[in-house]
């Protein structure tokens, strides 16, 4: 399945049905009174967050959504049927943004089953029966029905996961994710193997958590370099950051500083999230170099550092134990979400 995390769509609620102009026509009743019924209400536009979706790819091919209008009223004071609501199903974590300069947040769907009436259908028009008065006993007035509402909006998906994997390109994030979860992320010994966010479910010692792997970050990511600002948005809602650093790189400490700098520049509470560091490809290091890097990274980051080798499954159990322990921390669980005030623009 292709991953798409933003899409522009047009939505329009249904117009109300017209009221009827009708008069009673009964045998032996020479002057039947008005009996035109009201029109039915137009259908609403409703967004619903559903499980099992993790992409907005369907909205690339279907971009216009129109709810049906209400039916017209009829004689015998019969009200027209209302138009059916149009329910647009989106992945959990989808935001609906205004198509304006500020990209203001209109709806945020963060829970399975959450529904939000976005545009209400127009009210049905009044039939002529409702215009009858003591002085106007045969009214022919009626209303055509209220128009529906319409607008263009942007959908933006921010994946919901417990742990966000961050790091420079080729830090071993996809290899790690494949090793500990049910994911099938592409792996290769070259930068930018991961071109879109990946999700994996990790089961460890009777516990389960979701990991989001985003494409490797580069300097300037927070300002949009390599569309890194969009990728960072996918770990905004995670409870814990797992920062993977290539232990075989020329300067692993500099790699940590680059990614931390991008996280702090991005803001939105990312910089305050709990962080655990995984020193990958530790099997390529001798004992002295490994101990030296663990000490340097611990001193500067104030985070716990775990030397690991995902392909050899070395050091993985202590790291997963630490993740489960941190996820159970009430403080980590509290600060999951911050108001989204970042300026945002689509590709």
Burial (0-12, 13-18, 19+ Cβ within 10 Å), 289: middle
Residue 212 pairs with which residues in a beta bridge?
164, 199
Q: State residue 55's pLDDT score.
A: 81
pLDDT of 274 > 70? The answer is yes
Report pLDDT digits (tens) over 199-216: 788 889 888 888 888 765
103/5: higher pLDDT:
103
Per-domain boundaries in the chain: 1-157, 163-334
183/207: higher pLDDT:
207
Model pTM score: 0.68
In this prediction, residue 276 has a pLDDT band, given cuts at 50, 70 and 90, of very high
Mean pLDDT (whole number) for 94-98: 94
Helix H, strand E, coil C: the string for 198-231 is EEEEEEECCEEEEEEECCCCCCCHHHCHHHHHHH
Query: CA 237, CA 110: separation in Å to the nearest integer?
Result: 10
In this prediction, residue 190 has a pLDDT band, given cuts at 50, 70 and 90, of very low
Which range is most confident: 46-55, 212-221, 287-296? 287-296
Q: State residue 30's pLDDT score.
A: 60
* Fold matches, 1-157 and 163-334: no
Residues 6+ apart with CB under 8 A from 205: 320, 321, 324
pLDDT of 187 > 60? The answer is no
> Which tokens go with 277?
């560091």
In 3-state terms, what secondary structure has residue 44? coil
In this prediction, residue 230 has a pLDDT band, given cuts at 50, 70 and 90, of low
Q: State residue 339's pLDDT score.
A: 42
pLDDT of 188 > 50? The answer is no
Report pLDDT digits (tens) over 325-344: 999 876 666 545 444 444 44
Report pLDDT digits (tens) over 20-75: 999 987 766 666 789 999 999 999 999 999 988 878 888 988 999 999 999 999 99
Q: State residue 226's pLDDT score.
A: 41
pLDDT of 183 > 90? The answer is no
Instruction: Using alpha carbons, select from 174, 182, 173 the residue that is nearest to residue 200.
Output: 182
Q: State residue 2's pLDDT score.
A: 55
Q: Residue 155 in contact with residue 56, Cβ under 8 Å?
A: yes
Q: State residue 167's pLDDT score.
A: 86
Q: What is the mean pLDDT of the chain?
A: 84
In this prediction, residue 184 has a pLDDT band, given cuts at 50, 70 and 90, of very low
Q: Residue 238 in contact with residue 263, Cβ under 8 Å?
A: no
Q: State residue 193's pLDDT score.
A: 39
Which range, of 19-23, 134-138, 183-187, 196-200, averages the lowest pLDDT? Answer: 183-187
Q: How many CB atoms lie within 10 A of CB 215?
A: 23
119/227: higher pLDDT:
119
Q: State residue 154's pLDDT score.
A: 95
pLDDT of 197 > 90? The answer is no
> Which tokens go with 24?
């009673």
Which is the CATH superfamily of the domain at 163-334? P-loop containing nucleotide triphosphate hydrolases (3.40.50.300)
CATH number listed for the domain at residues 1-157: 2.70.210.12
In this prediction, residue 108 has a pLDDT band, given cuts at 50, 70 and 90, of very high
Mean pLDDT (whole number) for 121-141: 93
Residue 201 pairs with which residues in a beta bridge?
210
């Amino acid at each position: 399945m292709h991953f798409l995390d933003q899409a522009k769509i047009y939505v329009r609620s249904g117009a109300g049905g017209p009221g009827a102009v009708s008069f009673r026509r009964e045998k032996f009743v020479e002057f039947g009174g008005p009996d035109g019924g009201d029109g039915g209400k137009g259908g609403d536009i409703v967004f619903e967050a559903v499980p099992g979706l993790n992409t907005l790819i369907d909205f690339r091919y279907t971009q216009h959504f129109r709810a049906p209008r209400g039916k017209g009223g009829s004689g015998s004071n019969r009200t027209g049927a209302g138009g059916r609501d149009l329910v647009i199903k989106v992945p959990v974590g989808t935001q609906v943004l205004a198509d304006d300069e500020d990209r203001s947040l209109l709806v945020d769907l963060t829970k399975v089953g959450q529904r939000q009436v976005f545009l209400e259908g127009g009210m049905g028009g009044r039939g002529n029966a409702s215009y009858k008065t003591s002085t106007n006993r045969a009214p022919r007035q009626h209303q055509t029905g209220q128009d529906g509402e319409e607008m263009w909006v942007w959908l933006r998906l921010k994946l919901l996961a417990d742990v966000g994997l961050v790091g420079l390109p080729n830090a071993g994030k996809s290899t790690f994710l494949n090793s500990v979860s049910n994911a099938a992320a592409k792996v290769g010994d070259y930068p930018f193997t991961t071109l879109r966010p990946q999700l994996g479910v990790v089961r460890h010692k009777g516990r389960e958590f979701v990991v989001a792997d985003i494409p490797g970050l580069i300097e300037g990511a927070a300002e949009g370099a390599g569309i890194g600002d969009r990728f960072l948005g996918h770990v905004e809602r995670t409870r814990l950051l797992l920062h993977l650093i290539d232990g075989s790189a020329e300067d692993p400490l500099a790699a940590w500083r680059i990614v931390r700098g991008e996280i702090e520049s991005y803001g939105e509470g990312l910089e305050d999230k709990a962080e655990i560091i995984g020193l990958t490809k530790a099997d390529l290091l001798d004992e002295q170099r490994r101990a030296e890097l663990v000490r340097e990274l611990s001193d500067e980051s104030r985070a716990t550092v775990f030397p690991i080798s995902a392909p050899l499954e070395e050091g993985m159990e202590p790291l997963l134990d630490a993740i489960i322990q941190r996820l159970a921390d009430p403080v980590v669980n509290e600060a999951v979400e911050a108001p989204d005030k970042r300026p945002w623009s689509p590709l």
